[in-house]
Amino acid sequence: MKNLIILTILFLLFNCNKNTSKENIELKDVLNEKQTNEYVPYKDDKFDFNDKALKENLNNAIYKGDTLAYNRACKQYAINGRYKEFLYYAIVMAEKNNYGNAYWDISNILSAEEDSPLFDKYKSKYGNYSILKAYELGQRGAKSSMNYVYTEKGKPIPSSSSVYCSEKASSKNGR
């Protein structure tokens, strides 16, 4: 019995060392990969809106529904600190192509920080609609957020259309 325990411990230690060496090799491979400037911030902090690859990605995303091109363009804007300026393209991609990640980006761009004094006054109805729409389309981040905000607190998750329907009903009653 004692020998079995010692053998098990030695076996586990040997396997643990083997896994870390594999991780080190994989990390070295990633570090040695050729770097591209696709997602590198511009050196002079000036964002090139006339970049041909960026324009091509945006056109492919909006006109052809290319989700990979959309994600590349979104990353390029975000890495260069221009995420809020990407709102127009996110709205067009979401509305035209019914793309869940675009709705998720809209909700992130329009959301205020919860601890901000502006949070209650400037919550965006379109941002709320967008996160609910992203949830309905199965976007993982939206599912996680809705689970935290509603399900864990025992509240039912509203539909995206209910955000605007409730606004219209309250404005008719106020007249």
- Domain limits for position 110: 100-175
Q: Are residues 105 and 174 in the same domain?
A: yes
Q: Of 7-16, 94-103, 120-129, 157-166, which gets the smallest average pLDDT?
A: 7-16
* pLDDT of residue 68 exceeding 60: yes
DSSP state, residue 36: -
What span, in angstroms and rounded, lies between the C-alpha atoms of 48 and 44? 10
Last residue in a domain, options 73, 97, 121: 97
Structurally, the chain folds into a number of domains equal to 2
* Stretch 67-80: mean pLDDT: 90
**Domain finish residue from 49, 78, 97:** 97
**The predicted structure's pLDDT at residue 166:** 61
The CA-to-CA distance between both ends of the chain, in Å, stands at: 84
Supply the DSSP symbol for 83.
Answer: G
- Asked if residue 12 is part of any domain, the answer here is no
The mean of the pLDDT values for the chain is: 75
Could you tell me if 124 and 56 lie in one domain?
Answer: no
If pLDDT is split at 50, 70 and 90, which confidence band does 171 have?
low
Which position has the higher pLDDT, 153 or 95? 95
pLDDT at 78 over 90: no
Q: What does the pLDDT look like over 108-166, one tens digit per residue?
A: 888 856 665 555 555 678 888 888 899 999 999 888 888 888 888 888 888 888 876 66
Average pLDDT (1-27) is: 61
Inter-residue contact 63 to 92 (CB < 8 Å): no
Confidence of residue 3 (pLDDT cuts 50, 70, 90): confident
d(CA 48, CA 45): 9
Question: In this structure, is residue 124 part of a structural domain?
Answer: yes
